[in-house]
Amino acid sequence: MGKSAQIRLTSDEERSRRLAELRAMMTSNALEAIVISGKSDLRFRGRVLYTSDVFQFTADSFVVITHSGAPIFITTPVVGLGQARRTNWAEQFHVSAQPGHVIGEILGKENILSGKVGVVGLSDAISAIHMKEMTESAPASIEFVDATDEFEHVRRVKSPEELANLQHISAVFRKIFQAMEAEIRPGVQESDIAGAAARLAKLHGCRDVKVAMATTPFNAVSYGSNRRIERDDAFMLWIESPGPSGYWLELRRSYCFGAPSAEIVEFWAMLDQVWATALEAMRPGVTGAEVFASIEPLLSAYGCRLSPSNYSLHGIGADAIEGMCYPGNDKPLLEGEVVSFHPSLVFDDAKKAERISFLGMTDNVLITPEGGLRLTYDSDAIRVL
């Protein structure tokens, strides 16, 4: 931010690259325009950031992109346009309690009177009322179609600038987790740890900090209770947030006071094998199902298996979850894609699960032809405090 108080998160060169690739996608799919729908949700907000350079903390917001000209930004009357107007991607800014009507009118004013208009988020984000408004106010000959997968395919492959953003948030988290080791001590309340982690993250410019933790016996994740951590507890800390650039990292580390038990040592050795095997498998063209098939023998031999109801692998970037996820929306991995890897395990022995199930590692991984490359730590170990 300079003397003009202008907000610049993304370079002009990166803006040109993104718009060119999105317009090429529009051409190949015979789309006259695309409407990007975003919400104050870690799965959809980044779509608007990716196309407008506006990080919208809350409210439904939208971007319209045609085959020429600047993106057009539309939001609802929660935070207004003050922050958005300080960016330089869009030249038109609109705020309305009926944003769908505004978008429909914009399409007409942009001389888009017929043909297909892609809606990014039609299948997963846009509110029914906003879609109804668009349909009612747009020129009658326009056909709205889902362009969510096509948009997501474009942003799955990270540019050098995006990769630098992700490397920066990894550097920030290394500092945060190092500092947190002074806060994690016998007798401290979980809420104190949550507060310290959130404060450190905010001091480093993180934008939407989420802190989760768990203490033995592992039954449920906590977000900062009044429970005190005892000396014989094992403990997991998970922080996720977009950094100053708006790009996300989810990072988990695990802790104990004094030497870990033999059971924890054995479990961690298995996790090291899981990570090594999975990283070797994470190559372009390989699906999430194939990655997890490669580690299934290791899990089975230990008496656990992958949870069928929790994400264990998903794309990450301007949104915490983008592009692909497994299980649920599996796709072949792409060279240059970044994924968050955090195997979610179910144990045959419920008592063993209470002792070790939430321990583990979570990190961002870059997909390369040689396999997955961790972006924060080359490896990890349970931290002995």
Location of structure tokens 């059971």: 263
Single pTM value for the model:
0.95
pLDDT at 1: 37
- Containing structural domain, residue 367: 160-384
Asked if 126 and 184 sit in the same domain, the reply is no
Are 372 and 256 part of one and the same domain? yes
Domain edge (last residue) among 122, 155, 188: 155
- What are 10's two structure tokens? 């993304």
Listed residue (325, 327, 285, 333) closest to 305, CA to CA:
327
Average pLDDT over the chain, rounded to an integer:
96
Structural domain total, the chain: 2
Give the residue-averaged pLDDT of 243-253.
97
Last residue of a domain, one of 101, 132, 155: 155
193-245: pLDDT as tens digits: 999 999 999 999 999 999 999 999 999 999 999 999 999 999 999 999 999 99
Q: Is the pLDDT reported for residue 31 higher than 50?
A: yes
Residue 207 located in a structural domain: yes
Indicate if 97 and 242 belong to the same structural domain. no
Q: How far apart are CA 4 and CA 112, in angstroms?
A: 35
> Same domain, yes or no, for 145 and 222?
no
Which residue matches tokens 């309305």? Answer: 96
Whether 4 maps to a domain, the answer reads no
Task: Supply the pLDDT for residue 3.
Answer: 46
How far apart, in whole angstroms, are the C-alpha atoms of residue 337 and residue 315?
Answer: 7
Answer yes or no: do 261 and 361 share one domain.
Answer: yes
Q: Are 129 and 269 part of one and the same domain?
A: no
What does 235-256 look like in DSSP terms, one character per residue? EEEEEEEE-TTS-EEEEEEEEE
- The lowest-confidence range among 15-19, 54-58, 136-140, 298-302 is 54-58
Q: Give 44's pLDDT tier (boundaries 50, 70, 90).
A: very high
Tokens at 124, concatenated:
């997963």
pLDDT band at residue 320 using 50, 70 and 90 as cut-offs: very high
Q: What are phi and psi of 34, to 5 degrees?
A: -130, 145
Task: Write the pLDDT tens digit of every residue in 322-377.
Answer: 999 999 999 999 999 999 999 999 999 999 999 999 999 999 999 999 999 999 99
pLDDT at 14 over 70: yes
The first and second tokens of residue 88, run together, are: 């330089």
Question: Is a pLDDT exceeding 80 seen at residue 99?
Answer: yes
Note whether 53 and 169 are same-domain residues: no
Specify the range with the lowest mean pLDDT, choosing from 21-30, 79-88, 157-166, 204-213. Answer: 79-88
| pLDDT for residue 189 is more than 60 | yes
Q: Which of 361, 331, 253, 343 is nearest to 296 (CA)?
A: 343
DSSP character string of 59-100 = S-EEEEEESSS--EEEE-TTT-STTGGGSSS-SEEEE-S-HH
Task: Tell me: do 145 and 204 sit in the same domain.
Answer: no
Confidence band, pLDDT 50/70/90 cuts, at residue 40:
confident
3-state SS class at 294: helix
Residue 140, C-beta contacts closer than 8 angstroms, at least 6 positions apart:
none
Looking at the chain, which runs of residues are DSSP E strands?
A: 31-38, 61-66, 72-75, 92-95, 114-120, 141-146, 210-215, 234-242, 248-256, 304-306, 313-315, 322-326, 338-341, 345-347, 363-368, 371-374, 383-384
Question: Do both 202 and 309 map to the same domain?
Answer: yes
pLDDT tier at 192, thresholds 50, 70, 90:
very high
| Mean pLDDT in residue range 253-271 | 97
The mean per-residue pLDDT over the stretch 306-314 comes to 94
What is the b/e burial string over 192-222, where b = at least 16 CB atoms within 10 angstroms of the residue's CB? bbbebbbebbeebebbbbbbbbbbbebeeeb
Pair (209, 108) in one structural domain: no
Q: Classify residue 1: in a domain, yes or no.
A: no
Whether residue 29 is found in the same domain as residue 131: yes
> Do 25 and 134 belong together in one domain?
yes
DSSP secondary structure code for residue 180 in this structure: H
Q: Among 155, 187, 217, where does a domain finish?
A: 155
**pLDDT per position as a tens digit, 59-91:** 899 999 999 999 999 999 988 899 999 999 999
CA pair distance 264, 355, nearest whole angstrom: 8
